[in-house]
Structure 1
Amino acid sequence: MSAGWSTVRRWDREPVEAASQALLGVEDRLLSLDDEVRGSATKQWFGLAAEGARVELTGIREELEDRVTEVTAVRRALAEAADAIHGVQNAVAAVERFAHANGLRISDNGMVSDVEGAGKRYATQHDADVADAERRALVQECVTRIDETVRKAAEIDRDLCRVLRDGVLAGRLAATDAASLTAAQQVGYVFAEDGQYAPPSGGPDGTGTAAQNAGWWAALSDVEREAVIYNHPEWIGNRDGVPAWARDRANRLLLPQLSASVDQQISVLEAQREYRRQQELDKLLTTGQGGNYGDVDDPVLYQDIDAKLRVLREQKAALATVTTLAGKPDHHVLGLDLSHGRPQAIVAVGDVDAAQHVAVFTPGLGSSVAGMTGYDDHMRELQLRASRMAYGESVATVTWIGYQSPQVEPGSLISGNSVALSGAASHGGHDLAEFYRGINASRADDPDLTALGHSYGSTTTGYALQEQNTGVDRAAFFGSPGLGVETVDELNVPSGTASYAEAKWDPVGDLDRFGADPTTMEGMKQLQTGAATAPYGTDYSGTRLNDVTMHASYLNDGSTSQYNLATIVANRPDATIAGANVGVTDQPWWWWGPWNA
């Protein structure tokens, strides 16, 4: 790289901007000569002197064209460099704020050390391990942000060198074929045009880590960010580490484009299907041997086309749902992905970039983007409940269907994405962990982050929380077939911050399919799901709360389980109602007691 941290942190756009402005004046003066040069014609003058004058004027005109091309190219290159340097200055300031906020020190040569974490004591070894991993990750994130800032600086340097050294000094900007000085100006303008600063391509899926993406975004100027959103919304719509507001704007631009593309593909396939049917019909009429036993409407004839149509129609339904949700007040689309087997989407209620409390909910078996509206309604209700309890602090909730959740359909139990297997939860858990990291990396402050998981989504959440440095402060699971762990300490959250709710008659909660039953885990807080009265002295003092039963009602508005989840999202442990939860296989004798009526 052309410059290290010590140099880059002293970069100043003002001299570059001043040079660009000075060249703009030169460019204007040169262009003003166009009429004068064109008017110096020799059409009414003949002889050797006239021929000599014409040759001289042609040389002057060509020289002016070359100078205009060069001045315009350098002027534009300097203007774009000045704007890009503004982004670098912003990134340097953001890195230094990040280091200060997290107790880190950056040396002059860009080395990062942990100041605050040294010598701290923790109540348990688990908490010490979690904190140590977090501190190491913070150091690495700071290093990554520095690397992205220096990478941007190197690209600015390369772009300027291309124009100055490889263009002007190498004599590649001759514009003698230009029809006018204005045309020569356009040649220089186009030559100086640089590509947009591309995002990182690291990480297992090629979209960069959350820390890399946050560093890349921080190094963009406001002008560059707007250009990315409008010219390349696909770069950032699903990119963890980019602020929620930018992802939302990008996805809103992509929605109509994707919808039009899906509609067009459906029309083409429907036409192909009808063409094939017509062929079969013609064959039947002419030979008596068309179709399968003469049936031109036999679905076997069209199964390849119909399979593609099913996928596209699911995508169409998903896009319609997301479009509807995007139109609701205070809703934001943080993810929209049609590149997998089924559509994936992430929709937030509230300002994820600014809310003091953020909750991310991952649903399980059967969840789909097309059917996302019900989950969104629950998240809106939960946000309102939690906001009331949060001492005036703001709350945002997120429905995360950013993975291939298992479905209830023929053959699903024996597929690679089966609900009986952990593959979908394991793969989805990694992406979910990166989404958590992205929320933290995209913000200057540290939000209070809660992970919520239901059913197979709780298993996915459990896998996510086995990864280090997700930034999750608390977790609540409900109706879980297992978290992929045998003990609470395998989850990388602080001690005493994991909670579990299980409703009466919920068979899934006792499957123990993916690790130990959460009701039996030492250190797992158990939440009441039966009818209860909100504790006095809380925001819902004396309110009667409804019980929930079976597997699908944990988020019902006005229920005890919803109330408890709201207290967790709002970080109000004083208001939580604890309870001993009983499931289908837990102490069967309990079912018949009058206390359980």
Structure 2
Amino acid sequence: MTIDGCTFLTGFERFLEENRADAAWIDRIADAFEQAGGVGSLTNAAIGGVTDDELVRDVQRLFATGLTPTEVAAMWTDLGLTKEDAPDLALLPTSVLTVLGNLEGAPYWARSAANVAVLDRRIASAQHFLDDLDRPDRVYSAAARKDAADLSALESIKASLNPNGRKGPRTLTVLSADHPPLAAVSIGDLDEATNVTWAVPGMGANTCSMTDWTDAAQNVYSEQAKAVPLGRGSTNAAVAWMGYEAPPVPPASAAVFGSDFAKAGGEKLAASIMGLDATRAVTMPTVNVLGHSYGTTTASYALTTEGVHVDSFTAIASAGIPDSIHGADEIHADAVYAGQAEVVKPIIEHWSGDEWAAVGRDFSTDHHQDPTAPEFGATSFGADGDPGLEPVRYHGVHTWYGGGYLDENTQSLQNVAYATTGQPELLTK
């Protein structure tokens, strides 16, 4: 299909510059073709569906400036859309889906439908760009070029949506326009679960390794299912929340010793938690936050934000709770738990315990506090092994040899599951 001498997809940007009046219509048709794989043809019915402005206008009303998540949730209810409408939502223009996929107050099934559609389009755009690098006649947008640079992150997010035979449906509840993108993958039904856990990663985390963090969250999800007694009627969801920019690993940067990244990330996490409160207001679940390493610093800022309150906060391998928080009672959680493996010397005693958490605390500028210290006031639990359970032998959460804080068959993972399912009496010391 050719319009004004430009191929329909590759000459898209040039054509829009020349014909702005038709931009909205073409955006929707291009998206429909891209959904179809960029080849072949579309039926008149399919084209009619994406050129009908009514659904677009209905959804865009949710984007009005100043709306709270609670107001968005109420307006969504008035729309009357259900999960059966997900295929229609996925055909909306990319500009609409990008906002909808990250809109607090919208149901998570709709956000996932939007985000997966955008993810697929960004991957296709990046691949087209890379395939055509030797074709100077091809015209691509700046966004396509950036997506090509982010292709490994986009593909890792896509791969993280595949459960590989493990239990629990997966949904993409965050996909930002950042480069590389931020993301969040939920294991379990975030719209229906009676127990929700946000898992917040630490330094060096980014979506290029989204599959690793999602695997760790999957371990939490699976262990929680084992920890809840039969007949209690509880269903759970664990959110692999890569929704903030984490500081790089030293020596690339010393930012992990400060709190700039944690404060910015804390604002985003707080918004996500308040979004859950609005979306699930009628059937409010138990809400837990699990932080690892610098993720505990980030979560602490979120959980001291006005209007934020959760049922539990669990810190593992903490890189330090902010000095401005004087104890567990200042964190907006009904219960605060903390786990720390044996502190060992960096490099010298590698793979025999946690060699980095204490370094993060001791050399920080403003987050020195160890949440496992008795004076902090949290309930501490063991991570150094127990009969039948493995010890933590590394600072990370998920390792190839099974020694991370959230690896299967570790004392740490079992205790995290007990802490995040309201069973503190089962924690091992």
Q: Give the TM-score taking structure 1 as reference length.
A: 0.52
Counterpart Cα distance in 2 of 1:191 and 1:388? 47
What is the match of residue 389 of structure 2?
545
What is the match of residue 277 of structure 1?
none
Counterpart Cα distance in 2 of 1:515 and 1:214? 39
What amino acid does structure 2 have at the position aligned with 1:517? D
Contact 1:390-1:570 within 8 A present in 2 as well:
yes
Contact 1:487-1:516 within 8 A present in 2 as well:
no
Q: Residues 437, 577 of structure 1: CA spacing in aligned structure 2 closer, same or farther, 3 A cutoff? A: same
Counterpart Cα distance in 1 of 2:251 and 2:327? 34
Q: Residues 404, 522 of structure 1: CA spacing in aligned structure 2 closer, same or farther, 3 A cutoff? A: closer
Aligned residue runs from structure 1 range 379-398, under 5 A: 379-392=217-230, 393-398=234-239
2:370 is aligned with 1:517: yes
Q: Residues 191, 424 of structure 1: CA spacing in aligned structure 2 closer, same or farther, 3 A cutoff? A: closer
What is the match of residue 241 of structure 2?
400
What is the match of residue 422 of structure 2?
571
Q: Percent identity?
A: 27
Q: Deviations over 1:391-449 (max 9, x none)?
A: 34211111000111112377433xxxx22221111011111111112122112211011
Counterpart Cα distance in 2 of 1:362 and 1:194? 34
Q: Residues 192, 473 of structure 1: CA spacing in aligned structure 2 closer, same or farther, 3 A cutoff? A: closer
Structure of greater Rg? 1
What is the match of residue 261 of structure 1?
125
What is the match of residue 527 of structure 1?
381
Counterpart Cα distance in 2 of 1:368 and 1:569? 24
Measure how far apart 1:550 and its partner are: 3.3
Counterpart Cα distance in 1 of 2:309 and 2:75? 20
Counterpart Cα distance in 1 of 2:106 and 2:410? 35
SS at match of 1:545: coil
Name structure 2 gaps, 5 residues minimum: 1-51, 137-141, 345-353, 397-403
SS at match of 1:376: helix
| Higher helix proportion | 1
Aligned residue runs from structure 1 range 52-67, under 5 A: none
Counterpart Cα distance in 2 of 1:423 and 1:491? 19
What RMSD, in angstroms, separates the aligned Cα atoms of the two structures?
2.8
Aligned residue runs from structure 1 range 340-489, under 5 A: 340-392=178-230, 393-408=234-249, 411-413=252-254, 418-443=255-280, 444-484=282-322, 485-489=325-329
Measure how far apart 1:218 and its partner are: 2.1
Q: Deviations over 1:508-562 (max 9, x none)?
A: 33224214222334321111111214xxxxxxxxxx1111133111111111110
Q: Deviations over 1:282-306 (max 9, x none)?
A: xxxxxxxxxxxxxxxxxxxxxxx9x
What is the match of residue 243 of structure 1?
107
What is the match of residue 356 of structure 2?
508
What is the match of residue 35 of structure 1?
none
Measure how far apart 1:469 and its partner are: 3.0
What is the match of residue 32 of structure 2?
none
Counterpart Cα distance in 1 of 2:300 and 2:64? 27
What is the match of residue 221 of structure 1?
80
Contact 2:221-2:236 within 8 A present in 1 as well:
yes
Contact 1:383-1:396 within 8 A present in 2 as well:
yes
Q: Residues 515, 314 of structure 1: CA spacing in aligned structure 2 closer, same or farther, 3 A cutoff? A: farther
Measure how far apart 1:238 and its partner are: 1.1
What amino acid does structure 2 have at the position aligned with 1:320? E
SS at match of 2:204: coil
SS at match of 2:115: helix
What is the match of residue 102 of structure 1?
none
Contact 2:101-2:173 within 8 A present in 1 as well:
yes
Contact 1:341-1:404 within 8 A present in 2 as well:
no
What amino acid does structure 2 have at the position aligned with 1:532? D
Counterpart Cα distance in 1 of 2:371 and 2:292? 12
Counterpart Cα distance in 1 of 2:394 and 2:149? 29
Measure how far apart 1:210 and its partner are: 2.5
Q: Residues 546, 257 of structure 1: CA spacing in aligned structure 2 closer, same or farther, 3 A cutoff? A: same
Q: Residues 250, 193 of structure 1: CA spacing in aligned structure 2 closer, same or farther, 3 A cutoff? A: closer
Measure how far apart 1:456 and its partner are: 1.0
Measure how far apart 1:454 and its partner are: 0.4
2:157 is aligned with 1:318: no
Counterpart Cα distance in 2 of 1:191 and 1:517? 55
What amino acid does structure 2 have at the position aligned with 1:577? T
2:359 is aligned with 1:492: no
Q: Deviations over 1:285-344 (max 9, x none)?
A: xxxxxxxxxxxxxxxxxxxx9xx97x645521111122222233611111111x324321
What is the match of residue 93 of structure 1?
none
Q: Deviations over 1:369-395 (max 9, x none)?
A: 121212222222221111122234211
What amino acid does structure 1 have at the position aligned with 2:414? Y
Counterpart Cα distance in 1 of 2:126 and 2:191? 31
SS at match of 2:307: coil
What amino acid does structure 2 have at the position aligned with 1:317? S
Contact 2:199-2:291 within 8 A present in 1 as well:
yes
Which of 158, 168, 172 is equivalent to 1:333? 172
Counterpart Cα distance in 2 of 1:483 and 1:565? 18
What amino acid does structure 1 have at the position aligned with 2:272? F
Contact 1:455-1:481 within 8 A present in 2 as well:
yes
Contact 1:342-1:404 within 8 A present in 2 as well:
no
Which of 76, 85, 91 is equivalent to 1:230? 91
SS at match of 2:289: strand
Q: Residues 532, 410 of structure 1: CA spacing in aligned structure 2 closer, same or farther, 3 A cutoff? A: closer
Q: Residues 522, 368 of structure 1: CA spacing in aligned structure 2 closer, same or farther, 3 A cutoff? A: closer
Contact 1:200-1:212 within 8 A present in 2 as well:
no
What amino acid does structure 2 have at the position aligned with 1:315? D
Name structure 1 gaps, 5 residues minimum: 1-189, 273-304, 534-543, 579-597
Measure how far apart 1:216 and its partner are: 2.6
